[in-house]
Amino acid sequence: MANKPQGTWYVSFETPRQNRRKFARLTQTFMNEREAKQFARAKLVQTQSIAAGTLNPYLPKRTVSAMQVPEWVEEPDPLDQSE
C-alpha cells in the first residue's frame, strides 16, 4: 500500500443538509496554509461555518475558528513577504 503525502492544513466546512442530519460537514486537507486560505476564501461565498487549522503532528499548532476565518484569509502569507 503506497503512502499518500499528508497535508499540514485542513479546512472543515458545512454542507447542505442531507437526509435527517441537522449538520453535515466535510473536511479537506492541504499541503500548506496558502492553499487552505484560497479554498476557505472560496467557501466563504457558500457558508460562514468554516474552521481551519494544522494537522497533528505539524508544529506550531494553529486552530482557526469560524469567527476568525474572515480575518485569517486576509492575513498576508509569510512566503509572499520574503520576496
Burial of 50: CB neighbours in 10 Å, binned 0-12, 13-18, 19+: buried
pLDDT at 22: 67
- Do the domain assignments include residue 70? yes
- Do the domain assignments include residue 39? yes
For 60, the domain range is: 9-75
The arrangement of strands across the sheet holding 50-54 comes to: 24-30, 9-15, 50-54, 63-64
- Do the domain assignments include residue 3? no
- Do the domain assignments include residue 83? no
pLDDT at 79: 63
- Do the domain assignments include residue 1? no
- Do the domain assignments include residue 81? no
Query: And the C-alpha cell for 50?
Result: 468554516
Region label for 53, one of left (φ > 0), alpha (ψ between -120 and 50) or beta (otherwise) = left
Tell me the CA end-to-end span of the chain in Å, nearest whole number.
Answer: 40
> Number of folded domains in the chain?
1
pLDDT in tens, the chain (83 residues): 445 556 899 999 988 776 666 668 899 999 999 999 999 999 999 888 999 999 988 888 999 999 999 999 999 876 665 54
